[in-house]
Structure 1
Amino acid sequence: MSQSFIDVHYPRSVTESVDIPIIAREAPRYAQPGDAGADLMAAEAVTLAPGQRALVGTGVLIALPDGHAAFVVPRSGLAAKHGITVVNSPGTIDAGYRGEIKVILLNTDSSTPYEVAVGDRIAQIIIMPVTQARFIPVDVLPESERGETGFGSTGYGRPQTGAQA
């Protein structure tokens, strides 16, 4: 059986460094070389009761260059070990925003409060180039193989009707 590969060409900006002016109590930092997300640290202490959410400041202000956005995402270790996640994940930071980056944390645990201390790694920030779309009104969309089928329509993760084991 032969396998075909799609040749993908990324714009140079995907692999290049981007200089981002920053004001920070503690700057985001990458834990390992090659990581996509840099850790954001809490600039304030917060106690999250079970089921509670809180807006937690990071003390970080950035100036993204035009054509870039930052995305705030949960840390997998906090989610797996303590049930702490970011409510609006990914949180989007536009290039024109100059305010403090804050993270909306949620304690999904049903019985244990979670203490966030100043300096704790609470989320990650991913910087990416973005394309601004032109939305073109039309009366009919072009056909596609998938069509209008939505959530769960691909069948991954669930048994197919009539399938035999």
Structure 2
Amino acid sequence: MKVQIKKLHEDAIVPTQNFEKDVGVDVSTVEEGTLQPNERKVFKLGLAFKPERGYEMQIRPRSGIASKKGVTVLNSPATIEPTFRGNVGVLLYNAGSEPFHVKKGSRIAQAVFKEYEENVDVEVVDDLDETSRGSKGWGSSKM
């Protein structure tokens, strides 16, 4: 799978796989800032992406800063539409108890490229088939 990347900022870091056959690539910000506990903020990457046709880019948390600092991607996984050609931003949220300092060049999230269906045929029907779960939703699973 090939992804074209345009640098929109001179300090932008082009992401690469850290290890062969990794699923994601770490993405870094061109901005600095501090996230206070319970605060959210968008940090720009300084990059625009064009994945191959039939692929979207998803932004996901990095497990290290999520587990050590309580910082996550708030709308995870965030979908970056394959037709978007602007500066990609990552919405970080600090669920931790300490301020989180983001430096220019910090790896703040990971990007994963996923295949998707381009044409979704929606059909409105009067009834759906019955299942054992039925309409049981939030918290209804047997433990």
TM-score (norm 1): 0.79
**Which one scores higher on RCO, CA 8 angstroms, separation ≥ 6?**
2
2:51 corresponding residue in structure 1: 64
SS at match of 2:65: helix
1:106 aligned onto 2:90: no
1:42 corresponding residue in structure 2: 29
Q: Which runs of 5+ in 1 are unaligned?
A: 1-17, 157-165
1:22 aligned onto 2:5: yes
1:163 corresponding residue in structure 2: none
Which has the larger Rg?
A: 1
**Letter paired with 1:150:** G
1:155 corresponding residue in structure 2: 142
How far off its partner does 1:146 sit?
1.9
C-alpha separation between the residues in 1 aligned to 2:47 and 2:19?
21
- Listed one character per residue, the Cα deviations across residues 47-95 of structure 1 (whole Å, up to 9, x for unaligned) are 1112111110011111123311111010111011011111111110111
Q: Please tell me the root mean square deviation across aligned C-alpha atoms, in Å.
A: 1.2
1:134 aligned onto 2:121: yes
Instruction: Give the aligned length.
Output: 138
Q: Is the 8 A contact 1:72 1:126 kept in 2?
A: yes
C-alpha separation between the residues in 1 aligned to 2:59 and 2:84?
14
- Listed one character per residue, the Cα deviations across residues 97-124 of structure 1 (whole Å, up to 9, x for unaligned) are 11111001111123x1111011111000
**Letter paired with 2:141:** T
Q: Which runs of 5+ in 2 are unaligned?
A: none
SS at match of 1:21: strand
Runs of 4+ in 1 over 4 A off after TM superposition: none
Overall identity of the aligned pairs, in %: 35
Higher strand fraction (1 or 2):
2
TM-score (norm 2): 0.90
